[in-house]
Homo-oligomer: A and B are copies of this chain.
Amino acid sequence: MSKHGWTGDPVELLRVGDGFRLADVDADATPGFHGHKHDGERVLTHRETELDDLQERLYANRDERADAVLLVLQAMDTAGKGGIVRHVVGGVDPQGVELAAFKQPTPDELAHDFLWRVEKRLPAPGFIGVFDRSHYEDVLIGRVHGLADPAEIERRYGAIVDFERRIADSGTRIVKVMLHISRDEQKERLMERLDRPDKHWKYNPGDVDERLRWDEYMAAYQTVFERTVTAAAPWYVVPANHKWYARLAVQELLLDVLQRIDPQWPAADFDVEAEKKRLASS
């Protein structure tokens, strides 16, 4: 295996490009990585040090109008968003992470434009923001359940593209990820939640209702990709039947965006030698 166990570049392999069809993605695949679970977990741990170093450099620049990173996570239930937060994002200093979990909107949020609550949770310079669900729910569940009329859904695609362009232009690097599991895999994962009393709290009867609309959701995702992929805010579809692979892939996506920012330790804005003398005599 080549560098870090990868035989191909997940950034290229997973990016949604022209002619992308979600229906063609094999949720069991592990594009670019030919090892097994054990290899994947070893690489994840190994690469954590680099991710941590890059994040600290980014954070060190937070007062210098540094860039920010925004990781958007979208998926069907049980696909493993929580595991990404825990095992990938959890590998860096929590002080530099701003996590936002978007639930069903409140009446106050519903009274505003759908991007109102999203704007408020954008990461500050130097931070890595993570959206566990996002404004994309407003064109996914929003479309599947008809929560807004078709003209409003149409409007939102364009609004999202404009919104993301603006925040990208103001210095936020956007990485949008759909974790893709198969319908069978979801059934197994939901069944496990029902089989284990310590997992009942994670189960909601509504999960089956949503599952029954699987094809509608896949169609809604397909439209999302067609309408909201931009150079400034690319989409990546990550096969997620193997949790270890999904974590490894998202780690590489974060490493890639941080490497492209290439944050440097900021120069001291004080006289180092003078401070050493002051400190020594204090």
Contact B208 A275 (CB under 8 A): yes
Q: Is A171 an interface residue (CB 8 A)?
A: no
Identical copies of this chain, number: 2
Contact A275 B203 (CB under 8 A): yes
Contact B93 A267 (CB under 8 A): no
Cα separation A183 to B205 with both chains bound (whole Å)? 58
**Binary interface encoding of chain A residues 239-274 relative to chain B, with 1 for a CB under 8 A from any of its CBs, else 0:** 000000000000000000000000001111010100
Choose one: B95, B99, B190, B197; the contact of A86 (CB below 8 Å). B95
Contact B200 A268 (CB under 8 A): yes
Q: How many residues of chain A have a CB within 8 Å of chain B?
A: 41
Contact of A212 with B60 at beta-carbon distance under 8 Å, contacts A86-B93, A276-B191, A276-B194 already known: no
Choose one: B94, B132, B194, B265; the contact of A90 (CB below 8 Å). B94
Chain B residues, CB < 8 A from A272: 194, 200
Contact of A266 with B99 at beta-carbon distance under 8 Å, contacts A93-B82, A275-B194, A276-B191 already known: no
Q: Which residue of B lies closest to A190 (CB)?
A: B279
| Closest chain B CB from A169 CB (angstroms) | 26
Cα separation A211 to B276 with both chains bound (whole Å)? 14
Q: Is A71 an interface residue (CB 8 A)?
A: no
Contact B205 A275 (CB under 8 A): yes
Contact A278 B208 (CB under 8 A): yes
Q: List 8 A-B contacts (CB under 8 A).
A: A85-B95, A86-B94, A86-B95, A191-B280, A198-B265, A201-B265, A211-B282, A212-B282
Q: Which A residues form the contact surface with B (CB < 8 A)?
A: 60-61, 82, 85-86, 89-90, 93-95, 97, 99, 101, 132, 187, 190-191, 194, 197-198, 200-205, 208, 211-212, 265-268, 270, 272, 275-276, 278-280, 282
